[in-house]
């Protein structure tokens, strides 16, 4: 099938789904959602408990509209409350794996039991992501995600298994230089990492005098997930590595990747040479994705930002039925990408946590917006702090690690502060610190501390 | 490929997936615990991949429920175990799979398998118990049907939610957890639902009909064990 006139040729992972009409896909999704919620209402202890608590019955819903109207969204605290009351059967004979959420929310780890069906389904979303990124059977990819009790490690392994890619496991070494050596040794075709860690690898490779665009020609795709990123950073990173940047989104609750960029990538370039935000496609036949306004829980209009709410269609151990992810995304009009696939569309590169939002002097500020400005320049990493100064005013301080020697520190700091003010709207005090002062990030970064509460109430920081 | 050709091809592919599913059901039914756990696990893994394939073909959820109960055997209450063995082994062509005397339940049993599939359990009461009362009241006949389930607790919950009377739940054996759905809830039939461990179901090597009838094998934790000879404990 032809692609849009300026983009790369279409790469099809599964024609049976990707060539459905939007109407056919909608019908499939409606049937699957209604069946899933009815099954969960009858057989899943979590949902029997939750729906009884809300006094609703879900077995005989007839339409997706009815599903949206009747079924209450569920959130992490509900699952934790149920699990803390002994709601998960550790000795259920259908259990084949357990996955814990990473705990970055600070309120606890959800436990997701996986059945054999879940294991079979674990890598399929990742396979779409890899195929669309141009990776094909036999290609080698460097996996840098941690392999632990969380789902990331098993997911990416199973995604390789599902797509026929050969995983090169970088888990065995903590040193970034050694991982880069493996990238070269196995002549990897893909690199799988968070944006923070890709950035770290870029700095280390550059410091070692490597020029992967020229001396690692095998590398075609960098597939990122877990964090947002700026367009300038993405463009420069792609140029340095001589590869295209792609993105996927998923979570423990979704059984892995359920949105990904297609062959157009995370930051496609217009015919005029201008980069723009790419489009992530929802794998609607595997996960029904809603974008809701967090206050009212009403669907947002295309173009607007809201919270991701998921209903998984391929999970058996612990399905997610209208689960509030706590992630914010911009819903795009259907067909925005132009690739012709029937899937729903979301803005690439900008998904971030709703609870990451910081209120600074009455303004809503997302750290990802500051990341985009800071990492557009020669910066290795930074840490941010909000505090109450001696005069009781809210102040913001950034400690910035330049990645190169800065000849005129004063101008550098003034320029960066001015760009942050212009793009994000807040005044910040910036201090430069030596390269390597901040601890190395190998997975998702948490760069911000809110110390206002310490002065106000003498308590610990609520933001951590 | 025109729409008609595509439709025909789609139907052929879907038929093959459905056939794979049917073959897997048959394979799973043919496999027994004595074959070892590895083959059953492989069948389970293949089955889950067939399911995933069906989904990615847009077929949706295949109707076979992985956790659906598997029929294991019919239990027949008999008055004379020897005569019943003559019929079900000698005449019908079954082979003895296992057997022994369960002293605590007051039952002597022969488990008989048929080469082309299927299994029955012949039960003779050797003390006063429900099987003895069954024979006294109704005469010989089908006493119960046994279904294996993957999760007995979940199954009990399911049947109770549906309004069935579940009795005799017993989780004390390491190899065999059981419960019964009362006949009034199951169209007049006593239905036994059972969750077995990997250790259950080994055939009774060396067990003969004569030995069982002579009470030389006991039945403990759903497995046969030779009785100790007098003076040789």
Question: CA-CA distance, A303 to A398, in Å (whole number)?
Answer: 32
Q: Which residues of A touch B14 (CB under 8 A)?
A: none
User: What is the pLDDT at residue A394?
Assistant: 75
Question: CA-CA distance, A342 to A344, in Å (whole number)?
Answer: 7
User: What is the pLDDT at residue A1?
Assistant: 35
- Kindly state whether A38 is in contact with chain B, defined as any CB-CB distance less than 8 angstroms: no
Q: What was the ipTM of the complex prediction?
A: 0.84
User: What is the pLDDT at residue B162?
Assistant: 85
Token readout for B31 is 């496999």
Indicate the pLDDT class of residue B35, thresholds 50, 70 and 90: confident
Which residue does chain B place closest to A315, by CA atoms? B52
Token readout for B177 is 């957890």
Q: Which residues pair with B121 in a beta bridge?
A: B75, B111
Question: CA-CA distance, B10 to B65, in Å (whole number)?
Answer: 23
Residue A415 CB partners (closer than 8 Å, separation 6+): none
Interval B66-114: pLDDT, tens: 567 889 999 999 999 999 999 999 999 999 999 999 999 999 999 999 9
Which residue does chain A place closest to B51, by CA atoms? A117
Q: Which residues of B touch A (CB under 8 A)?
A: 44-45, 47-49, 51-52, 55-58, 60-61, 66-67, 150-151, 153-154, 158, 195
Q: Which residues of B touch A14 (CB under 8 A)?
A: 56
| Phi, psi (rounded to 5 degrees) for A426 | -120, 150
Q: Would you give the DSSP letter of residue A283?
A: -
Q: Give how far the C-alpha of residue A317 lies from the chain's centroid of Cα atoms, to the nearest Å.
A: 23
Are B55 and A35 a contacting pair at CB < 8 A?
A: no
Nearest to A246 by CA among A216, A213, A219, A268: A268
**What is the residue-wise DSSP string for A205-250?**
HHHTT--HHHH-TT--EEEE-SS---HHHHHHHHHHHTSEEEEEEE
Question: Of the candidates A32, A89, A120, which has its C-beta nearest B49's C-beta?
Answer: A120
Question: CA-CA distance, A381 to A399, in Å (whole number)?
Answer: 9
Interval B172-219: pLDDT, tens: 887 788 999 999 999 999 999 998 876 666 666 788 999 999 999 998
Q: Which residues of B touch A115 (CB under 8 A)?
A: 66
Q: Which residues of A touch B70 (CB under 8 A)?
A: none
Question: Of the candidates B44, B58, B150, which has its C-beta nearest A28's C-beta?
Answer: B58
Are A31 and B195 a contacting pair at CB < 8 A?
A: no
CA distances from B214 to A103, A110, A288, B141, B218 (A): 63, 57, 64, 23, 11
Nearest to B96 by CA among B195, B205, B232: B205
Q: How many H helices and E strands in chain B?
A: 6, 10
Give the dihedral sign, CA B24/B26/B32/B36.
negative
Q: Which residues of B touch A286 (CB under 8 A)?
A: 55
Choose from A35, A116, A118, A317 for mutation: most chain B CBs within 10 A. A116
* Whole-number average pLDDT of chain A: 89
Specify the pairing of strand A166-169 against strand A140-143.
Answer: parallel
**What is the residue-wise DSSP string for A171-214?**
TT---HHHHHHHHHHTT-SEEEE-HHHHHHHHHHHHHTT--HHH
Are A17 and B56 a contacting pair at CB < 8 A?
A: yes
User: What is the pLDDT at residue B65?
Assistant: 56
Which residue reads 């294996």 in tokens? Answer: B148
Which residue does chain A place closest to B162, by CA atoms? A42
Interval B108-163: pLDDT, tens: 999 999 988 889 999 999 999 999 999 999 999 999 999 998 788 888 988 988 89
Q: Which residues of A touch B44 (CB under 8 A)?
A: 116
| Phi, psi (rounded to 5 degrees) for A428 | -130, 150
CA distance B21 to chain A (A): 14
Q: Mean pLDDT, consecutive 10-residue segments, chain A of 464 residues?
A: 57 93 95 93 91 91 94 95 88 92 76 96 98 97 89 95 95 83 97 91 93 97 92 93 97 96 95 92 98 93 96 95 95 94 96 79 78 88 84 82 90 93 88 84 73 44 28
CA distance B112 to chain A (A): 28
User: What is the pLDDT at residue A148?
Assistant: 84
User: What is the pLDDT at residue B231?
Assistant: 42
Question: CA-CA distance, A400 to A430, in Å (whole number)?
Answer: 7
Token readout for A184 is 């070269």
CA distance A327 to chain B (A): 27
């Amino acid at each position: 099938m032809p692609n849009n006139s300026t983009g790369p040729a279409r790469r099809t992972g599964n024609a049976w789904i990707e060539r459905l009409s939007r109407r056919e896909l909608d019908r499939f999704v409606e049937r699957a959602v209604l069946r899933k919620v009815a099954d969960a209402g009858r057989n899943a202890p979590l949902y029997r408990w939750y729906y009884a608590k809300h006094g609703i019955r879900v077995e005989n819903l007839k339409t997706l509209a009815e599903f949206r109207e009747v079924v209450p969204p569920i959130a992490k605290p509900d699952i934790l409350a149920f699990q803390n009351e002994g709601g998960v059967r550790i000795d259920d004979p259908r259990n084949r794996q357990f996955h814990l959420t990473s705990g970055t929310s600070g309120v606890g780890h959800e436990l997701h039991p996986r059945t054999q069906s879940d294991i079979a389904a674990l890598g399929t979303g990742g396979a779409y992501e890899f195929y669309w990124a141009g990776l094909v059977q036999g290609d080698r990819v460097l996996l840098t995600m941690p392999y632990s009790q969380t789902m990331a490690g098993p997911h990416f392994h199973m995604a390789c298994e599902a797509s026929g890619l050969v995983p090169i496991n970088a888990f065995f070494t903590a040193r970034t230089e050694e991982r880069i050596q493996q990238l070269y040794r196995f002549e990897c075709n893909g690199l799988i990492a968070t944006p923070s860690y890709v950035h770290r690898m870029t700095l280390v490779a550059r410091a070692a005098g490597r020029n992967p665009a020229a001396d690692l020609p095998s590398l075609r795709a960098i597939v990122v997930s877990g964090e947002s990123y700026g367009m300038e950073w993405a463009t420069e990173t792609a140029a340095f590595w001589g590869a295209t940047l792609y993105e996927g989104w998923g979570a423990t609750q979704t059984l892995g990747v359920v949105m990904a960029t297609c062959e157009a990538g995370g930051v496609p370039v217009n015919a005029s040479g201008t980069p723009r935000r790419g489009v992530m496609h929802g794998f609607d036949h595997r996960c029904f994705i809603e974008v809701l306004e967090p206050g009212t829980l009403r669907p947002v209009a295309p173009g607007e930002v809201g919270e991701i709410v998921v209903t998984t269609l391929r999970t058996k151990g612990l399905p997610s039925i209208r689960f509030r992810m706590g992630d914010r995304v911009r819903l795009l009009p259907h067909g925005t990408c132009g690739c012709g696939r029937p899937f729903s569309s979301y803005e690439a590169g900008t998904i971030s946590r709703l609870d990451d939002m910081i209120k600074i002097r009455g303004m809503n500020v997302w750290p990802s917006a500051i990341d985009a400005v800071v990492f557009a320049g020669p910066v290795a990493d930074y840490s941010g702090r909000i505090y109450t100064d001696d005069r009781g005013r809210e102040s913001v301080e950034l400690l910035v690690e330049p990645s190169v020697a800065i000849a005129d520190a004063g101008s550098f700091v003034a320029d960066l502060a001015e760009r942050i003010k212009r793009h994000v709207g807040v005044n910040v005090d910036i201090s430069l610190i030596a390269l390597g002062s901040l601890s190395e990030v190998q997975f998702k970064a948490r760069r911000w501390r809110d110390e206002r509460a310490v002065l106000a109430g003498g308590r610990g920081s609520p933001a951590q | 490929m025109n729409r008609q050709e595509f439709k025909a091809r789609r139907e052929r592919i879907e038929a093959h997936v459905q056939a794979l599913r049917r073959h897997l059901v048959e394979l799973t039914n043919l496999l027994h615990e004595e074959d070892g756990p590895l083959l059953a696990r492989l069948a389970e893994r293949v089955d889950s991949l067939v399911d995933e394939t069906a989904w990615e073909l847009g077929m949706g959820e295949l109707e076979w429920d992985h956790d659906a109960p598997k029929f294991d055997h019919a239990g027949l209450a008999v008055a004379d175990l020897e005569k019943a063995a003559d019929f079900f082994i000698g005449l019908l062509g079954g082979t003895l799979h296992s057997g022994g005397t369960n002293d605590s339940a007051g039952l002597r049993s022969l488990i008989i398998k048929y080469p082309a599939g299927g299994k029955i359990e012949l039960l003779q009461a050797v003390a006063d118990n429900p099987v003895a009362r069954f024979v006294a009241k109704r005469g010989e006949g089908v006493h119960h049907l046994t279904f294996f389930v993957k999760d007995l607790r979940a199954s009990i919950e399911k049947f109770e939610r549906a309004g069935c009377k579940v009795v005799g739940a017993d989780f004390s054996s390491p190899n065999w957890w059981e419960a019964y759905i009362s006949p009034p809830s199951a169209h007049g039939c006593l239905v036994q639902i059972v969750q077995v461990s990997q250790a259950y179901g080994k055939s009774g090597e060396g067990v003969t009909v004569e030995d069982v009838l002579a009470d030389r094998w006991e039945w403990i934790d759903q497995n046969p064990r030779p009785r100790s000879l007098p003076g040789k404990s």
